Amino acid sequence: MEKTSTPDLCDIHADQLKVLTPVFNSYGGRSNFFGQVVTVKCHEDNSLVKQQAATPGKGRVLVVDGGGSMRRALLGDMIAENAVKMGWSGFVIYGCIRDCDEIAALDLGVKALNTIPVKTEKRGLGDLNVPITFAGQTIHPGDWIYCDNNGIVVAKRKL
CATH number of the domain encompassing residue 79:
3.50.30.40
- Residue 2's pLDDT band (cuts 50, 70, 90): low
Bridge partners of 50? none
78 is in an annotated binding site: yes
Q: Does 70 carry a binding-site annotation?
A: no
Say yes or no to pLDDT of 105 above 60: yes
Judged against a pLDDT cut of 70, whether residue 30 lies above it is answered with yes
What amino acid occupies position 80? A
The answer to whether residue 158 sits within a structural domain is no
Residue 42 has pLDDT above 60, yes or no: yes
- Rounded to an integer, the average pLDDT of 71-80 is 98
CA distance 87 to 9: 24
Inter-residue contact 75 to 91 (CB < 8 Å): yes
Asked whether residue 6 carries a pLDDT value surpassing 50, the answer given is yes
Q: Can you give the pLDDT at residue 135?
A: 98
CA 17 – CA 15 distance, rounded (Å) = 6
Total of domains in the chain: 1
Residue 1 in domain:
no
Residue 7 burial by Cβ neighbours in a 10 Å radius (0-12, 13-18, 19+): exposed
DSSP tag of 121: P
- Residue 100 within a domain: yes
User: Is the model's pLDDT at 33 over the cut of 80?
Assistant: yes
Q: Residue 77 phi/psi, 5° resolution? A: -65, -35
The band of 4, judged by pLDDT with boundaries at 50, 70 and 90, is: confident
**Measured at the alpha carbon of residue 150, what is the angle toward residues 131 and 73, in degrees to the nearest 5?**
55
Diameter of the chain by CA atoms? 44
Residue 155 lies in a domain: no
Asked if residue 148 belongs to a known ligand binding site, the reply is no
Q: Kindly state whether residue 101 falls inside one of the protein's structural domains.
A: yes
In terms of residue numbers, what domain contains 107? 6-14+22-149
pLDDT exceeding 70 applies to what percent of the chain? 98
